[in-house]
Amino acid sequence: MENRDRIIKILAYDGRVSIICASTTTLVEKARKIHDLSPVATAALGRTLTVASMMAVNMKNEKDKLTIQIKGNGPLGGMVVVANNFPKLKGYVANPLVDLPLKNGKLDVGGALGKEGYLNIIKDIGLKDPYIGMVPLVSGEIAEDFASYFATSEQTNTAVNLGVLVDKNGVKASGGYIVTPMPDATEDDLFILENRIKEAKPLSQMLDENMSLLDIAKDLTGDEKAQVIEENIIPLYECDCSREKIEKGLISLGKEELKDIVNTQVKIETVCHFCNEKYVFTKEELENILKELK
Ligand SMILES: [Zn+2]
């Protein structure tokens, strides 16, 4: 399948409103395949990957890292998504096989994740301490939960919409948008915007009709002169795990614990949560790591 995933940044109303739109069909389908996700788990992780991809492109530097942890009281358990500003993303859910009946004809993401729980956002932008923002879940439907995060932590009246369409073949369409009024947005801007977003076609329908991201932004704002600031950003699902990193993890256990492993086990096997890559270390290899620690 050709990768048509894109993210664009747009300014509307002469720069008083910022819009980020993303199409993430290929990315979310890759996540679905890696984790063998059920439809509702695909929607939950897909929405979170999509919002993360849009938040990630607003980070400044290549080394900046965004980590999203969501924990709910529903059968999905929770999930983790990590993104850099490229953006390359990876994620997993606690229970990928959750299956729930449709709710009003839609995948019941709120039922899978649960309404009780929290959304935790960690931004590591190279400062001594990372920025951490935590809010309680609102509905477990993801978009509303992130809107609550933006309102609480970043004090912006941000509109978030996320959609993942799943059919029997997998992810049919996936995407989202984030609309943020700038400090100089007027009352009129906000009023018009709020009404247009309310009356816009459902996002899933826009995605299904293959509307371009720019057309979606114009449709939401009604601003034909909306200006594209950045386009052709391609979000990718890509894990950055390596044998070297796992080895570092083993070293960080400390000498005593490693000795213990060498003495009691024939080999160790670890599986990367994000991509399911398996890493095996034999007794000899562990002994060699231990020798180098002296
Ligand atoms: Zn991995």
Q: Delimit the domains of the chain by residue range.
A: 6-237, 243-292
What stretches of 60-156 adopt beta strand conformation (E)? 65-72, 78-84, 88-93, 117-124, 131-136
Amino acid 89: pLDDT: 98
Q: Ligand 1 centre and the CA of 274: distance in Å?
A: 5
Amino acid 231: pLDDT: 94
Q: Ligand 1 centre and the CA of 16: distance in Å?
A: 40
Amino acid 211: pLDDT: 93
Amino acid 207: pLDDT: 87
Q: How far apart are CA 238 and CA 88, in angstroms?
A: 6
CATH assignment of 243-292, among 3.30.420.40, 3.90.1530.10, 3.30.450.20, 3.90.1280.10 = 3.90.1280.10
Q: Ligand 1 centre and the CA of 93: distance in Å?
A: 14
Q: Which two tokens stand for residue 201?
A: 């076609």
Amino acid 100: pLDDT: 96
Same topology for domains 6-237 and 243-292, yes or no?
A: no
Q: How far apart are CA 89 and CA 86, in angstroms?
A: 9
Amino acid 9: pLDDT: 97
Q: Ligand 1 centre and the CA of 142: distance in Å?
A: 24
Q: Which two tokens stand for residue 12?
A: 């509307």
Which residues, by Cβ under 5 Å, contact ligand 1, an ion?
239, 241, 272, 274-275, 277
Place of tokens 């390596």: 242
Amino acid 2: pLDDT: 84
Amino acid 60: pLDDT: 86
Q: Ligand 1 centre and the CA of 242: distance in Å?
A: 7
Q: Ligand 1 centre and the CA of 273: distance in Å?
A: 7
Q: Ligand 1 centre and the CA of 127: distance in Å?
A: 26
Angle between helices 25-35 and 39-56 (to 10 degrees): 130
Q: How far apart are CA 29 and CA 166, in angstroms?
A: 9
Amino acid 197: pLDDT: 95
CATH assignment of 6-237, among 2.60.120.380, 3.55.30.10, 3.30.70.580, 3.40.50.300 = 3.55.30.10
pLDDT in tens, 52-62: 999 999 998 88
Q: Ligand 1 centre and the CA of 121: distance in Å?
A: 21
Q: Which residues of the chain have pLDDT under 70?
A: 1, 294
Cβ pair 81, 91 in contact under 8 A: yes
Q: Ligand 1 centre and the CA of 86: distance in Å?
A: 17
Q: How far apart are CA 98 and CA 114, in angstroms?
A: 12
